[in-house]
């Protein structure tokens, strides 16, 4: 009787340990999935900013060329304003790069 109780207790302890390890594994998988989704979101945001920056740069160049031809100061001002937004977007892209690197390192640690 005593051996049966000891055996049952050992089986129960094994069961509890396996449940704990399953829970830890599930938690790690959830964290990994959340990080992967966040990384994908940041990559998409970065790509959007890069394309937007490229288009803004083209528009600024077009405005500058048009301003030279027509000698219109307002077009120069608009071109300059667009270039300011380009530099702001570059800063945002650099910030996103830093965040992406941090998240990638976190993902490697999991």
Q: Dig out the tokens for 13 from the structure.
A: 């302890």
Residues of the chain falling short of pLDDT 70: none
Determine the pLDDT at residue 53: 96
14-44 pLDDT, tens digit per residue, is: 999 999 999 999 999 999 999 999 999 999 9
Of 50, 36, 54, the C-alpha closest to 100 is 36
> Looking at residue 44, what is its pLDDT?
98
């Amino acid at each position: 009787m005593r051996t049966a109780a000891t055996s049952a207790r050992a089986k129960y302890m094994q069961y509890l340990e396996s449940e704990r390890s399953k829970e830890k594994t599930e938690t790690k998988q959830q964290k990994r999935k959340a990080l992967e989704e966040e990384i994908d979101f940041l990559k998409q945001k970065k790509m959007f900013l890069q394309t937007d920056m490229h288009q803004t740069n083209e528009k600024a160049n077009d405005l500058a060329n048009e301003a030279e031809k027509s000698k219109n100061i307002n077009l120069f001002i608009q071109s300059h304003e667009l270039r300011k937004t380009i530099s702001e977007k570059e800063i945002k892209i650099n910030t996103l790069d830093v965040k992406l690197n941090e998240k990638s390192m976190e993902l490697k640690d999991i």
